[in-house]
Structure 1
Amino acid sequence: MKYFDYAATCPLDQEAAELYVKAATDYYGNSQSLHDIGSSSAELLKTCRRTMASILDVEPTGVFFTSGGSESNFLAIHALLSAKRKSGRHIVTGMAEHSSITNVMKKLEEDGYEVTYLPLNSNGLIETRLLEEALREDTVLVSIQHGNPEIGTLQPLNEIGSICRDREILFHSDCVQTFGKTRIKEAASMVDALSLSGHKIYGPKGTGAAYVNPRIGWKPFIPGTSHESGFRPGTVNVPAILALTAAAQKAETVLCEAMEQHLVLRKLFMKGLSPLKNQVTIYGTDEKQQLSGIIGMRIHGLEGQWVMLECNRQGYAISTGSACHTGLLAPSKTMAAMGIEGKQAKEFFRISFGRQTQKEDVSGLSAFLAKTAVKNRYN
């Protein structure tokens, strides 16, 4: 089967897998144990932390390893709320955030916080004008994802970060979809906290990291927690963290090449859809604010789930949106955030590229979609 669902997850990099096995065999000690075996694990963990900090261009003391993007989002948000710069219980976030963000927000609403959810414009972007209008004197936190997982748009974190700093509002960004896929150092400098995941960059599942500015005096979510400087409980999975770090290093090394490859594949895919003329809608914006490796689209008149099943029958693995949302009866959150409802929203599906994506497979998929669309035009 030809895989076009890299935005959901990636295969484990072979070198990262080999490092995991070696570390699990040779560095099996608890990193907090005081004997030499534990100290060896602690040193390896320290090296991984410094490496991840270097990739993000942040201070190592602000980097914490977690079980994945969802946990990173949860803990980073609570860390910021424990250190808010002013009194207040108002939060601003986006309507199209990952479920790990929206679920936290729902729980915070139950706990007495008020949350404002911002829509996306027709290009899939949050308008800073609407953000500024939503901010209040009691706004203490803004959480906006860097890259949309369904259509690949990149939010203006620099502008949002500047607005938040001017108003003493803490700023968190879910960077799970962008880490290792686009330049992120500048974005990291504009946030107070960010989250990332290992399996999106060819690292092992069940790994992730969060960065929280060490100048912020946050408090542990669970009092008495000792691991990761109190950020999360549980024995640290040093072998998996090493594999995550190796995958992150490789992603950083091949970043420019990968971005260029995705752009070439995107243009090739679009060319293959040219016979459809006005029968297709591609969601997103210009190259500067777009992850080229994610294509969110619909074929007019064809339900997205039906298209996905037809592709699967032909040996192409695509999706109908974010994997954490698939299976729910509600349409894509991104479509809802853009004001697209009903039949049009249900027509949405997503294609995403990765390292193993071949040009001939992209041409084959676009040709199949074009043929399918023409064949069913009047059905």
Structure 2
Amino acid sequence: MIYLDYAATTPMSEKAINVYSQVATEYYGNSSSLHDMGLAAQTILEESRKTIAGFFNGEAKGVYFTSGGSESNYFAIHSLLKGNNKKGKHIISTKLEHSSIANTLEDLQKDGYEITFVPVNTEGRVELEALSEAIRPDTVLASIHHGNSEIGTIQDLVAIGEILKKHDIIFHSDCVQTFGKIEIDVKKANLDSISVSSHKIYGPKGVGACYINPSRTWQPVIPGTTHENSFRPGTVNVPGIAAFITAAEEVLPIMDVEQERFQGLRRKLVDGIQGDAWKISEVGPSSKRLEHIIGLSIAGIEGQYIMLECNRYGVAISTGSACAVGMQKPSKTLLAIGKSKEEAKQFIRLSLGKLTTDAEIEETIDIFQRFLKKYFNDL
């Protein structure tokens, strides 16, 4: 099968698998244990903490390893709110956030928090003027993602961070889709908290990290928690973390080159699947985007049908975020950028990765041409 769903998850790299196996075999001690086996695991854990902090210009003591991006988002938001509960109960976000944040915010409303969703333009970018106008004296936190998982829009975190810093508002960003793809600098963007995930960059599933600026106050979500400096409960997955760091060390040095390669593959794909009988439109920005995420809309045909046809022909694509599968709802991203429900249902997402080749793109073009000609000829 031709795999074009890398934004959903990625295969583990061979090197990451080998490191996982080695650490799990030789350094299986609990990193909280005081004997030599535990101390050996603890050494790996702390070195991993330093390494990942350097990837986004953070400080090692602000890194907390988790089970993934969703948990990082949940714990970051709740921990920071608990530590700053006297500042207010107003939160700023967008309608484009990952479900782990959207669901967390919905739950927080039951606890008396008020959420303001700032509008985005037709390319999915936050309206900075609207962001400034949304700030209130009781605004405590803003959660705005870095890269959109459906159309690839990159938010200007530096500009957003400047606005929030002036009002001393805690700034959290879901960076799961951008980590290992483009630069993240928590200090340059005045970010107080970010979430990243292993399985998006060829590391193991079930591993991620949350970064919280050490100068920010936070409180444990679960009282009495001892692991990860009281940030979360549960024995730390040292083999998975070591494999995560290994995967990151492989992709970060080549991320600029890869984005350039993806740009070429993207252009070839979009141009190649155009036809006389159908109209294919790219959805999202033409620049400042994640080149490996390709949002498309084919007029007159639902995205779910295209996904199923692609699967039948041996191509794996999606109709949007994998975390929203099964809900049978139009893409919330497309609705937020002004598309109708009908247009939102026509959306498909193809996403490229390090194993994607020119030959795969050419075969995908041929497959699209074949089933689209049949579909529109049968109308």
The reply to whether TM is greater than 0.5 is yes
Q: Helix, strand or coil: the match of 2:290?
A: coil
Which residue in 2 is equivalent to 1:80? 80
Which residue in 2 is equivalent to 1:257? 257
Q: Aligned in 2, Cα 1:273/1:81: closer, same or farther, shift over 3 Å?
A: same
**Counterparts of residues 216-255 of structure 1 (less than 5 Å):** 216-255=216-255
Any conservation in 1 of the 2:151–2:284 contact (CA below 8 Å)? yes
Which residue in 1 is equivalent to 2:194? 194
How many residue pairs match? The answer is: 378
**Counterparts of residues 284-303 of structure 1 (less than 5 Å):** 284-287=284-287, 289-303=288-302
Specify the code of the residue in structure 1 equivalent to 2:316: A
Deviations 1:177-216 (A, max 9, x none): 0100111126774210000111000000000000000011
Which residue in 1 is equivalent to 2:352? 353
Distance in 2 between the 1:150 and 1:300 partners? Answer: 18
Structure 1 segments unaligned to the other structure (5+ residues): none
Specify the code of the residue in structure 2 equivalent to 1:179: F
Compute the TM-score of the two structures, normalised by the length of structure 1.
0.96
> Is 1:344 matched with 2:343?
yes
Specify the code of the residue in structure 2 equivalent to 1:56: F
Distance in 1 between the 2:277 and 2:128 partners? Answer: 33
**Counterparts of residues 1-379 of structure 1 (less than 5 Å):** 1-84=1-84, 87-185=87-185, 189-276=189-276, 279-287=279-287, 289-377=288-376, 379=379
Deviates more, 1:354-363 or 1:75-84: 75-84
Distance in 2 between the 1:64 and 1:186 partners? Answer: 15
Specify the code of the residue in structure 1 equivalent to 2:144: I
Specify the code of the residue in structure 2 equivalent to 1:324: C
Q: Aligned in 2, Cα 1:249/1:200: closer, same or farther, shift over 3 Å?
A: same
Q: Aligned in 2, Cα 1:126/1:372: closer, same or farther, shift over 3 Å?
A: farther
Q: Aligned in 2, Cα 1:186/1:260: closer, same or farther, shift over 3 Å?
A: farther
Specify the code of the residue in structure 1 equivalent to 2:72: S
Distance in 1 between the 2:372 and 2:293 partners? Answer: 20
Distance in 2 between the 1:371 and 1:290 partners? Answer: 29
C-alpha displacement at 1:328, in angstroms? Answer: 0.4
Distance in 2 between the 1:317 and 1:144 partners? Answer: 29
Q: Aligned in 2, Cα 1:187/1:358: closer, same or farther, shift over 3 Å?
A: farther
Any conservation in 2 of the 1:97–1:145 contact (CA below 8 Å)? yes
Specify the code of the residue in structure 1 equivalent to 2:39: S
Any conservation in 1 of the 2:57–2:187 contact (CA below 8 Å)? no
Deviates more, 1:347-356 or 1:254-263: 254-263
Q: Helix, strand or coil: the match of 2:41?
A: helix
Distance in 1 between the 2:203 and 2:213 partners? Answer: 24
Any conservation in 2 of the 1:126–1:155 contact (CA below 8 Å)? yes
Compute the TM-score of the two structures, normalised by the length of structure 2.
0.96
Any conservation in 1 of the 2:278–2:376 contact (CA below 8 Å)? no
Specify the code of the residue in structure 1 equivalent to 2:247: A
Any conservation in 2 of the 1:301–1:377 contact (CA below 8 Å)? no
Any conservation in 1 of the 2:157–2:189 contact (CA below 8 Å)? no
What do you get for the CA RMSD once the two structures are aligned?
1.7
Q: Helix, strand or coil: the match of 1:161?
A: helix
Distance in 1 between the 2:43 and 2:277 partners? Answer: 58
Distance in 2 between the 1:366 and 1:77 partners? Answer: 42
Q: Aligned in 2, Cα 1:86/1:132: closer, same or farther, shift over 3 Å?
A: farther
C-alpha displacement at 1:266, in angstroms? Answer: 1.0
Deviations 1:70-120 (A, max 9, x none): 000001111221233962111011101110001100110000000112333
Q: Helix, strand or coil: the match of 1:30?
A: coil
Any conservation in 1 of the 2:58–2:187 contact (CA below 8 Å)? no
Deviates more, 1:321-330 or 1:188-197: 188-197
